[in-house]
């Protein structure tokens, strides 16, 4: 695949907002749950593609803290689909060397779902081909708030002043503290916003928005997004000339 032969042009960490399941179903005169079911199949395909392409971390926005506002029937169907995914896919992920982690506030989830999460995470904990993070009942503001709260309590236990609270003390308590920050965010479905997703971690993330609905997002669409990423110059606050000088100096 052109532009992706080198690890330097491949994202280490890919984040995706999977949008468009409901519209996909509506256009086919199907119930919304049919779109969610097809979307779950695409998740399996994306995981396999990321393993093959050498992407080390994949984070998917599966259910936000705001999604509880959806009709109760749809919420129940989504939670049942999540249960089914955990039961069916944990073993498959393990056999393919994928580590599964669920990020988000688990307190609002049913007890049996939490048990399934813990079992799947334990089963796959030592795998290292790909880390798959599923954000469930996750919000970026929640993430920052809980990390800041935990950091503040830690300072208090150490007898230190809360005025010492800074980025370095908060960062280790974020949901993805042990993963590199996302290099690329893909949002499907035509919307161009981050919807309270990884707001701390995406300070320097490249964004890629596509009209393709999530159930139609295939390997070709993924490779198109990765080619776009490979052509970008990531400066992290520096100038293009500085990057050029560094590149020349390393030769």
Q: Which active-site residues does the annotation give?
A: 19, 67
Please tell me the distance from the alpha carbon of residue 216 to that of residue 38, in angstroms, as a whole number. 9
What is the three-class DSSP state of 109? coil
Closest CA to 208 of 195, 221, 196: 221
Q: How far is the C-alpha of 140 from the C-alpha of 166, rounded, in Å?
A: 18
Smallest CA-to-CA distance from 55 within 18, 12, 85 is with 12
H-helix segments, 96-196: 111-124, 140-157, 167-170
**Positive or negative: CA dihedral 37, 127, 16, 138:** positive
Chain-centroid distance of CA 203 in Å reads 15
Tokens of 251: 């030769």
For residue 3, which of 239, 238, 245, 223 has the smallest C-alpha distance? 223
Residue/partner pairs of 31-39 with CB below 8 Å, 24 or more apart: 32/74, 32/77, 33/74, 33/77, 33/81, 35/215, 36/77, 36/78, 36/81, 37/81, 38/215, 39/214, 39/215
């Amino acid at each position: 695949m052109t532009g992706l032969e080198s690890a330097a042009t491949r994202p280490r960490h890919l984040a995706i907002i999977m949008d468009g399941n409901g519209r996909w179903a509506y256009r086919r005169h199907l119930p919304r749950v049919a779109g969610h079911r097809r979307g779950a199949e695409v998740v399996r395909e994306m995981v396999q593609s990321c393993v093959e392409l050498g992407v080390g971390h994949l984070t998917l926005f599966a259910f936000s803290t705001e999604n509880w506002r959806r009709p109760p029937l749809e919420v129940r169907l989504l939670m049942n689909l999540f249960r089914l995914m955990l039961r069916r896919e944990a073993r498959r992920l393990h056999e393919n060397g994928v580590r599964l982690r669920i990020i988000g506030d688990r307190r609002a989830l049913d007890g049996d779902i939490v048990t399934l999460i813990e079992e799947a995470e334990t089963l796959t904990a030592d795998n290292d081909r790909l880390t798959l993070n599923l954000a469930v009942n996750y919000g970026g503001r929640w993430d920052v708030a809980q990390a800041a709260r935990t950091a503040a309590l830690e300072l208090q236990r150490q007898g230190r002043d809360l005025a010492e609270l800074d980025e370095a003390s908060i960062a280790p308590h974020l949901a993805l503290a042990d993963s590199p920050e996302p290099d690329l965010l893909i949002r499907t479905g035509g919307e161009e916003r981050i919807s309270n997703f990884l707001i701390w971690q995406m300070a320097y993330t490249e964004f890629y928005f596509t009209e393709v609905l999530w159930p139609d997002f295939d390997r070709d669409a993924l490779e198109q997004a990765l080619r776009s990423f490979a052509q970008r110059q990531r400066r992290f606050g520096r100038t293009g000339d500085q990057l050029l000088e560094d590149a020349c100096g390393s030769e």
